[in-house]
Amino acid sequence: MTRVEIDGVERAYGAVKVLKGIHLDIEPGEFVVLLGPSGCGKSTLLASIAGLDPVQGGEIRFDGRDVARDEPSDREIGMVFQSYALYPTMTVRKNMSFALRVAGMAKPEIDERVNWAAGVLQIEPLLERKPAALSGGQRQRVAIGRALVRKAKVFLFDEPLSNLDAKLRGEMRAEIKALHEKLQTTFIYVTHDQIEAMTLATRIAVMSGGEIQQFGTPDEIYRFPQTRFVADFIGAPSMNFVDAVLRVEGGRASLEMGQVRVELDDYAFAAPPRDGQPVIFGTRPERITLQGDPSPGAIPARVTGVEPMGADTLVWLDTDGHRWSARVSPEEANALGREVHARPDPQGISLFEPESERRL
């Protein structure tokens, strides 16, 4: 169990700043997922934690010890790569024992550790095979085993499931989660897949443009996105947005969108709202109910498409030029005409400041 503190880490390739002073405080035993679109700096950050990519500023502390300038091997980390990166000429056993052999460990202890790791990952029958004779899932297991035998303080995963097919990905995801619960070691995991992030993480760090947009539990990230980027990036389809104006009358806040008024009695404002303040209103597809007749607080919309997904149905809407989506039950979807009214759930509203795009 190791606390990982990332304190102002900077990395630039020439004029391009890939990491702009990252701060991240990871509790011992946490499972932190670095999530973001490609090019957001998440893999660079992971490589910096591993020591494979030199940082140009800031500190990386493992249990208070600054390791930012240490060699990867001096950091007591284990790392799993997207391409598995198994040594092709070595058997599974040799692959897993490589680090221990390099460190000059005694043979009985090497065997003991390899057998233990193989038992944890259930790959004992594969120990004498070469990587070429393994399936994708088995290779991934060996790659994890290679990190396991070292009894690393911190486990790093760089998009480990991207090369697997959908079914196997689901299985391996569950296994990695079970492994974390078993080992109670600090895990740092990079992915661009939000399902992986939501299901695995104790906390997610959403990154964009070399900065951390938000660091919080999956629930916080999903329900209370702190920036418009996070709101837009998390969730499929993404959050619906529209420009609106705040009204404050007699201490009660409400939202004005053209003719429509939405009451904001339950919204937890970060700062006191001002009357006439422009805002970006956001609501998730599953927080919208569709109805045929107009009612106060419902936004008139035209149905442009219907996508049955099985468990629910996605209805695409045109609300005065904005493309929205609503997730409704198949029965509700069948009852809809062309003209509908979309009523946002007051509990599921996010408001953003148009300039800074930060949550209000």
Partner 1 sequence: MKDQNAIAMAAIYAFLAIAAAFFAIPLIIMLLTSFKTAEEVREGSIFFLPESWSLAAWGKAWGEACIGRVCEGIGGNFWNSVLITVLATSISLLLASLNGFALAQWRLRMSGPILGMLLIGAFIPYQIMIYPLVRLFATGGMHQTLGAIVTVHVLFGLPILTLIFRNFYIGLPEELIKAARVDGAGFFQIYGMIIVPMSVNVFLVAAILSITGVWNDYLLGLIFAGPNFQPMTVSLQNLVGTQMGLPEYNVNMAATILTALPPLAVYLLSGKYFVRGVTAGAVKG
Candidates 18-26, 68-76, 227-235, 338-346 — which segment interacts with partner 1 by CB under 8 A?
A: 68-76
From the list 44, 279, 66, the residue with the least C-alpha distance to 158 is 44
Measured CA angle at 155 (ends 66, 60), to 5 deg: 15
CA distance 30 to 181: 10
Does position 150 interact with partner 1 (CB under 8 A)? The reply is yes
Please, which residue, 89 or 122, has the CB nearer to partner 1?
A: 89
349 binds partner 1 (CB under 8 A): no
| 16 is a site residue for partner 1 (CB under 8 A) | no
Q: What is the dihedral of CA 266, 270, 275, 277, to 10 degrees?
A: -120
Does position 142 interact with partner 1 (CB under 8 A)? The reply is no
Fill in the DSSP letter of residue 349: E
Identity of the residue, 29 or 72, whose beta carbon is nearer to partner 1 in the bound complex: 72
Closest CB to partner 1 among 1 and 103?
A: 103
Give CA separation, 58 vs 15, 32, 197, 350, in Å. Answer: 18, 20, 26, 34
Which residue in the set 3, 10, 20, 52 belongs to the binding site for partner 1 (CB under 8 A)?
Answer: 52
Is 110 among the residues that bind partner 1 (CB under 8 A)? no
| 304-343 footprint of partner 1 as x/- string (CB under 8 A) | ----------------------------------------
Count of residues in contact with partner 1, rule CB under 8 A: 24
Residue 245 — φ and ψ, nearest 5°? -125, 140
| Owner of token pair 């919208």 | 288
User: Is 98 a binder of partner 1 (CB under 8 A)?
Assistant: yes
Radius of gyration from C-alpha coordinates of the chain: 25
Which residue lies nearer to partner 1 by CB, 151 or 261? 151
Q: Is 174 in the site for partner 1 (CB under 8 A)?
A: no
Q: From the CB of 301, what's the least distance to partner 1, in Å? A: 48
- Look up residue 131 and give its DSSP letter: G
Q: Which residues bind partner 1 (CB under 8 A)?
A: 47, 50, 52, 71-73, 77-79, 81-83, 85-90, 98-99, 102-103, 146, 150
